[in-house]
Structure 1
Amino acid sequence: MRVVLCLLLLLCGYRAQGEDGDLTEQTLEQTTPDIWAEMTALRDMVVELQVELRTMENRVMESDRKVEELKTELTVTKMYIELLQIENSGQATDLISLESRLTSTESKTSDLENENADFQTRLSDSESELVISKSRIDQLERENAEKPKVAFYTALTNAGSIGPYNTDITLKFTKVFTNTGNAYSAATGFFTAPVRGVYYFQFTVCGSSAGLKGVHVYKNSQKIMYSAEWKEHPNIRYFTNSVVLELFTGDIVYLRLPKDHGIFDNANNYSTFSGSLLFPL
């Protein structure tokens, strides 16, 4: 554009000078070399401008290429961003799921910890109860070891009938089968309490002849019980009775045959006397 404008200006000036008629041939000759010089300069300028134009065109093409590359890169980037968003959305879902599972696991862990604490408490209580139970067992074993063991079982005689007599007599049960604690004496017929306590006694009385059969139960000199039956016919008949007594150490218990009463025993051990300590006091 600059070259064209310059040429137009020169032509217009030349034309104007010719119309005025002021120029001479000498002036024209002087002016001609200047025009060619100017035209040469203008041509060179045109060449330079063409070169610059091609350079600019190349730069524009390069810019267009870079713009296309940038557009392509931008498109790829957008796609990558979308993929990342999709992936991130999936990861967010997974994260929410993981957080939910973590919360559930923490809740279960808390429940298990509470349950374990409860088990520990119950275990501690059970251990305490076990210690107490063992202590109680040890105490009972000691008490049982220290507790006197007293029991006896005897039968009267192998002689058959005893009585009736004109007076009361003390019965001596001479066949001793059990005498734990040695509290019964076959020589006297007495049971002597070794410790204060509650004792259980049982006796069986047998008769073979007609008439009265029975015994008195004595504690020391005190008559505790009278137990008897009347027999109409001479045959073997017997009865059993029992008594529970509180005795002090040294108290004696024994059976007496009342006068006019009879009693029978032989190898079959029909008439017996037994007792044991229920518990000490």
Structure 2
Amino acid sequence: MNFTIVLSMLLYCSLILAQDDVNVPETERTNETQSCFPDMCEFLKEFGAMTEKQRVMETRLKNGETRLKDAETRLKDSETRLKDSETRLKDSETRLKDSETRLMDSENQILELKSKEKTVVVFSAAAGGSGHIGPFNTDTTVVYKVVKTNIGNAYSQFTGTFAAPVPGIYYFTFFYHAGGSQRVSLTLIKNNESVVTTYDHTTSHDGADNGGNAVFLQLQQGDQVYVRLGANTHVWGDNFITTFSGFLVSQV
């Protein structure tokens, strides 16, 4: 805009000079032309060069502004892609943590299952001795002194009591042999509570009796199971014919 104004003024001045030249004698006009026009031509050349430089600079400026806008656009696109990548990375990290948690849970479950598989509890014992056990005037725990099997050492041959080493489902059996002339009463006890019983009445025509019972029990660690002989009843203990057995079916 400034160059346009200057150019307009120069043209205006040239017109004024041209008008003045009409009233000037030929000789003077020739002298003036020789002294003034070379300067004007030089100025116009310089002005044209400056105008061209300005045009070039403006073009370069516009190109620079365009490239700057393009760079800003690419930068925004890069920032957007970076944010998207960060979001996907966070999602991947979250999924990875979830997978690690599930993996740890699975490993713990496998270890627990392996631990359960390794836990073996089995016992079997006989009353032993010679002759009969009882009768006693009170209920009495039968101590099965002859241990045949005691994997896990959960049965005590000194007290006749089985103590559950782990929580789980257990299976118990108890059998007896006794004379028919006296009553028989055996009860499986869990923590002082009666569970199942085997019983036989006195008969005059029966020389001997056999009987027993069995049961599945869910036990907690430390629960106690034993067999109680009822008051004024008896069983025979010789030849390992009165037994108490049990084993762990499954941990829970």
Deviation (angstroms), 1:144: 6.3
Structure 2 Cα separation of the partners of residues 144 and 240 of structure 1: 33
Shift in Å, 1:147: 3.3
1:159 to 130, 134, 137: 130
Q: Is the 8 A contact 2:175 2:210 kept in 1?
A: yes
Residue segments in structure 2 that go unaligned for 5+ positions in a row: 1-109
Name 2:221's counterpart in structure 1.
Answer: 249
Q: Which moved more, 1:157-166 or 1:247-256?
A: 157-166
Shift of 1:214: 2.2
Residues 218 and 256, structure 1, Cα contact 8 Å, conserved in 2 = yes
Q: Which has the higher contact order (CA 8 A, sep 6+)?
A: 2
Q: Percent identity?
A: 36
* 1:29-65 C-alpha deviation (Å, 9 max, x unpaired): xxxxxxxxxxxxxxxxxxxxxxxxxxxxxxxxxxxxx
Aligned length, in residue pairs: 144
Is the 8 Å Cα contact of residues 207 and 236 (structure 1) preserved in structure 2?
Answer: yes
C-alpha separation between the residues in 2 aligned to 1:153 and 1:254? Answer: 12
* Paired position in structure 2 for 1:263: 235
Structure 1, 176-185 or 228-237: larger mean CA deviation: 228-237
Residue 156 (structure 2) aligns with: 185
For 1:140 and 1:203, how far apart are their aligned partners in 2? 34
SS in 1 for 2:137: coil
Rounded to whole Å, the distance in 2 between the matches of 1:238 and 1:184 is: 24
Q: With the length of structure 1 as denominator, give the TM-score of the two structures.
A: 0.48
CA shift digits 1:114-153 (9 cap, x unpaired) = xxxxxxxxxxxxxxxxxxxxxxxxx599626753100001
Q: Is the 8 A contact 2:136 2:231 kept in 1?
A: yes
Aligned equivalent of 2:173, options 197, 202, 206:
202
Q: Could you tell me the TM-score, scaled by structure 2's length?
A: 0.53
Using the TM superposition, give the Cα deviation of residue 166 of structure 1 relative to its aligned residue in structure 2, in angstroms. 1.1
- C-alpha distance in structure 1 between counterparts of 2:129 and 2:136, whole Å: 19
Correspondence for 2:104 = none
In the alignment, what sits opposite 2:118? Answer: 147
- Higher Cα Rg, which structure: 1
SS at match of 2:183: strand
Quote the RMSD (CA, aligned, Å). Answer: 2.3
Contact residue 214 and residue 257 of structure 1 kept, 8 A: yes
Cα distance in 2, alignment partners of residues 252 and 145 from structure 1: 20
AA aligned opposite 1:208: G
Report the residue type matching 2:236 in the other structure: F
